[in-house]
Amino acid sequence: MTNILDDEERLIRARISLTQQIDRGSVVLSSRLAEAFLNVPRHPFVPVFYRREGERFIPWRITEGGAEAWLDAVYTDDSLITEVDGVHAEQGGSGGVTGVPTSSSTAPSLMADMLDALDVNEGDDVYEAGAGSGYNAAMLCHLAGDKHVTTVDRSDTLTTLARERLNGIGFDPVVLHGDGARDVPADAMYDRIIATASVPRIPPSWLERCRTGGILVVPLKGTLAGGMIARLTKLPDGTAVGRILHTPAAFMPLRTGTEGEAPVPEIPGRPSRDAELSGLVLDDWTFSFFAQLHMPRALVRTYSRSDQGLHITVLYDPADGSATRIEDMPGGTPLVTSTGPRDLWEPVEVTHRRWRQLNRPRREWFGIEATPAEQNVTYTAPDGRVHRWTI
């Protein structure tokens, strides 16, 4: 029987199908981007990936579950989980693993949206923070030329595999093992900088190493889902200014080796108040990015279900020990219970009212400006009033 990966006609059809899926969505592909997706294969970068079965993540290889189904999954416009709690899919046993995904191959339509914003031209020097599977780096190599691309990842396993797979399809960029936020080559300057993992703020090293006129495309995300993607241009005075893209994105955090959230304390039973909103409002991606602008940088959010299956959100600020639980109740009105000096849900309710008063502004209406000292998101209302938040 012929190996499906030796059937070049079948692989061409798969790449055409993926390109058509992207083009039918919200991304309008330029001819150069369409050419890249048609010519750069995805399957060499994800020979094994996880599929979720209940609470477990099960490795899926081409030899398991049918070659056609596997190839269709690879060339579907979806993200593919490649690592869970540091265990790469190729290292996962047949019984699978449990935990939190720590690396993935980004959904191609989101890749396309970010690459379109990055506007890579042949000969541009490109820095990518977050090599991951190597697929996005391969697209950058196709667009800029592989000798102009540098990609870095904290995981030695990921960088080793990405290098091998990029070399396997004829690309030889610089692949570094290190901290993508701090280990930018000291003697290099770049025309384009892109991150495929989220950061709470743009690292100063990226601003410093971006050439004047260069472009940065960076996912920004705090504790909430539905982060935002910033697209900035470096100005002659050293600042970078731009806009927030329309696409919400919940990229995994850029790993630096210093991760770790403070444990959320128990909130004892005590007199509660009625809440204006359910904690579920923070899962509304049209609102959560706006809510994040008003939250303390170190705020932690967790969520769970009660014995009745109702939603519970807990907010915790390690800066002063305040913790607040927002619990949906069978009667319909959620209850708020707090410990510590502050009720952390009240500012969210105020923020939601403000968001509604501003007529639910879309994320692409927001601007961003960054200097080594300060970073701000701005929104200019129809009446000309400028709203500003420091991130």
pLDDT digits (tens, 9 = 90+) for 263-285: 888 888 777 899 999 999 999 99
> pTM here?
0.93
Q: Locate all alpha helices (DSSP H) within 127-260, ordered by sequence.
A: 135-144, 156-168, 204-209
Rounded Cα distance, 388 and 378, in Å:
4
Name the residue with higher pLDDT: 241 or 187: 241
Mean of the pLDDT values across residues 103-128?
96
The pLDDT confidence band at residue 218, using thresholds 50, 70 and 90, is very high
Q: Can you give the pLDDT at residue 249?
A: 85
Rounded Cα distance, 134 and 166, in Å:
7
- Tokens found for residue 91: 């290292």
Model confidence at 1: pLDDT above 50: no
CATH 3.40.50.150 fits 4-92+102-244, yes or no: yes
Rounded Cα distance, 198 and 181, in Å:
11
- Tokens found for residue 132: 């991951």
> What average pLDDT does the chain have?
93
Mean of the pLDDT values across residues 207-232?
94
Mean of the pLDDT values across residues 173-187?
94
The pLDDT confidence band at residue 254, using thresholds 50, 70 and 90, is confident
Residue linked to tokens 């619990």? 327
Instruction: Give domain limits for the chain.
Output: 4-92+102-244, 273-357
Q: Can you give the pLDDT at residue 262?
A: 67
The DSSP result for 234-255, as a single string, is E-TTS-EEEEE-S--B-PPBPP
Least confident window among 123-127, 265-269, 343-347? 265-269
